[in-house]
Amino acid sequence: MELFDKIKTLTELQAAPGFEGPVRDYLKREISPLVDRVEFDGLGGIFGIKENSDANAPRIMVAAHMDEVAFMLSRIEEDGTFRVVGLGGWNPLVVSGQRFTLYTRDGSQIPVVTGGVPPHLLRGANGQAKVPAIEDIVFDAGFTDKAEAESFGIRPGNVIIPQTETILTANKKNVISKAWDNRYGCLMVTELLNNLKGESLPNTLIAGANIQEEVGLRGAHVSTTKFDPELFFAVDCSPAQDTFDKNADGKIGEGTLLRIYDPGHIMLKNMKEFLLDTASDAGIKTQYYTAKGGTDAGAAHLKNDGVPSTTIGVCARYIHSHQTIFNLDDFAQAQAYLQAIIKNLDRATVDTIKGY
């Protein structure tokens, strides 16, 4: 299955906030033949540009982010174990008893596990484990002591990234992997550019991926300022809530998300009308979504003179963990939606969206 193979390749890459190189290299290879040129911002965001010869053509930006949640080594203990700080949001309950890879300065890859406390050691606490703080979780590479760890080039500042295998579920409808947040967006960008190859668009398209979204939407500030788009579309993955609350927003298999609200961004009326009309005309399966977290749209819409923005997303179960479950058809719906959106954004339509 070609789509699964692409998903497997991207999700098994390891790229922490501030260390996005493996995904950036992948994107550069994939998008360079599909655009007029590739540009980078000063922090390492990468964008392919499909120019329009009309100087009045609107500038449209589509942005994923390359980073995934990870950890940074903060201290090597005398016994050779590590303590860390989180890079992005982690629920401590999903961290223990997992495999990771630590990257040293010279690129060496060190296998690491997180210490899961066995039940035998909980008897003094009536068999009950307490939730640890992230900085108290033990990361263990099996070294004898601090000196041995340091002899392998391990130092504070090394990044530690989840290690998993991407697989299909038994029904072949869903995938289990890490990092769909946000390799989903990276694949959306490459598939968009592949499908638009050779097509004449009514706009100048700027499509690529930001750095350091998971630690505060940092890359979007830089790239939106640099490329100065009239409209901004984040492509990002949100948490499905269907296994915890049947009435909550976000069910896998129900299509792309109409993200009408999150704490950092409210969808503008004219943008919402455009998205609803486009989805209806293109026959896209959509679901309304009210979010508790943010995306790069939250940073982008406040840049320059103000940039109308939104997120073209899907949901996935158990994000920000080693084992996320997401739906293949949701991706197909989102990709078809994004293509329809980009093809419809001529000068008159963009002016309408920007009007108030």
What integer pLDDT is reported at residue 123 of this predicted model? 55
150 annotated as a binding-site residue: no
- Rounded to an integer, the average pLDDT of 68-94 is 97
| Pair (22, 129) in one structural domain | no
- Rounded to an integer, the average pLDDT of 302-323 is 97
Q: One-letter amino acid identity for 179?
A: A
H or E element, residue 137: none
Determine which of 29-38, 161-170, 210-219, 240-249 has the lowest per-residue pLDDT on average: 240-249
To which residue do tokens 């750095």 refer?
211
Average model confidence (pLDDT) across the chain:
95
| Pair (244, 302) in one structural domain | yes
Q: One-letter amino acid identity for 341?
A: I
Confidence of residue 121 (pLDDT cuts 50, 70, 90): low
> What values do phi and psi take at 51, rounded to 5?
-75, 155
- Stated pTM of the model: 0.95
120 annotated as a binding-site residue: no
Phi-psi region of 157 (alpha: psi -120 to 50; beta: other; left: phi over 0): left
CATH code of 268's domain? 3.40.630.10
Cα-based distances in Å from 66 to 16, 151, 183, 210, 282: 8, 31, 7, 6, 29
* 171 domain-assigned: no
- Rounded to an integer, the average pLDDT of 262-274 is 96
Tokens of 133: 């703080």
The percentage of the chain sitting over the pLDDT mark of 70, rounded to a whole number, equals 96
Which tens digits make up the pLDDT trace of 183-198?
A: 999 999 999 999 999 8
Give me the number of domains the chain comprises.
2
| Pair (116, 216) in one structural domain | no
What integer pLDDT is reported at residue 241 of this predicted model? 87
- Rounded to an integer, the average pLDDT of 202-206 is 98
Catalytic status, residue 213: yes
Residue of 213, 230, 254, 273 marked active site? 213
Cα-based distances in Å from 83 to 34, 157, 158, 320: 43, 11, 11, 19
Cα 329 to Cα 1: distance, rounded to the nearest angstrom: 13
Tokens of 73: 């080594």
67 annotated as a binding-site residue: no
Question: Above 80 in pLDDT, residue 300?
Answer: yes
Helices (H), the chain: 2-12, 21-31, 146-151, 180-195, 218-227, 269-282, 297-300, 328-344, 347-354
116 versus 203: which is more confidently predicted?
203
| Pair (143, 186) in one structural domain | no
What integer pLDDT is reported at residue 353 of this predicted model? 97
CATH code of 102's domain? 2.40.30.40
What integer pLDDT is reported at residue 247 of this predicted model? 80
| Pair (203, 302) in one structural domain | yes
> What values do phi and psi take at 156, rounded to 5?
-55, 140
106 annotated as a binding-site residue: no
With H, G, I as helix, E, B as strand and everything else as coil, classify residue 302: coil
* Structural domain range at position 89: 70-162
Q: By C-alpha distance, which of 304, 46, 58, 339 is closest to 204? A: 58
What integer pLDDT is reported at residue 213 of this predicted model? 97
Confidence of residue 127 (pLDDT cuts 50, 70, 90): low
* 197 domain-assigned: yes
